[in-house]
Amino acid sequence: MQVESLAIPEVKLIKPRVFGDERGFFLETFSSERYAEHGIDLPFVQDNLSYSRKGILRGLHLQNPHAQGKLVSCVKGAVFDVAADIRAGSPTFGKWVGATLTAEGHEQLWVPPGFAHGFLVLSEDALFSYKCTDGYHPSCEMSVVWNDPTLAIDWPLEGEPTLSEKDAAAPKLGDIPEASLPKVSS
């Protein structure tokens, strides 16, 4: 597999090795030993799958405490996936990175704990898979609005995205008290 650290080095774009022929293909989607060699060595405790239509934007989501690291991929269609560093004290605080993930390319993105995460569906529809390092804790949910001017994420939009009420009402990063933000882990 190829592993590329993005502009925020903790976020990694992973391209698994694909073995294919006229019958189809095979690839390894996770190996604890191989991923640990690249710094992804937290235990995964929950897998999630979501379905969305074109133009739907989900995010930016995280939990604090009970931060979730997420190994994400698009198993049908294509999405633009974003990780935003909102960890208090981080040298990359307020920065984001994004990557297009496709079912055909089999790319994965490692979103470390403490990062806000979201994605925009680019294809007619998409199935999106998450491997999470902590379970879902509703009392720890946090969101940052998708179009926060501080983050200035360059979403590849065609018009306005479709959002949940909760995502549309999410606060700007600057409106979240610093004490409520995740911290850089030592």
Rounded to whole angstroms, the Cα distance separating 1 from 14 reads 7
Name the helix (H) or strand (E) containing 44: none
Which candidate, 153, 146, 151, places its Cα nearest to that of 169? Answer: 146
Catalytic residue among 61, 66, 117, 137: 61
Catalytic residue among 106, 117, 130, 137: 130
3-state secondary structure of 45: coil
CA distances from 124 to 46, 54, 80, 101 (A): 27, 5, 13, 14
Kindly state the greatest CA–CA separation across the chain: 55
- For the question of residue 130 being annotated catalytic, the response is yes
Could you tell me how many residues make up the chain? Answer: 186
Residues 11, 79, 96, 141, CA torsion sign: negative
- For the question of residue 38 being annotated catalytic, the response is no
**What are the residue numbers of the active site?**
61, 130
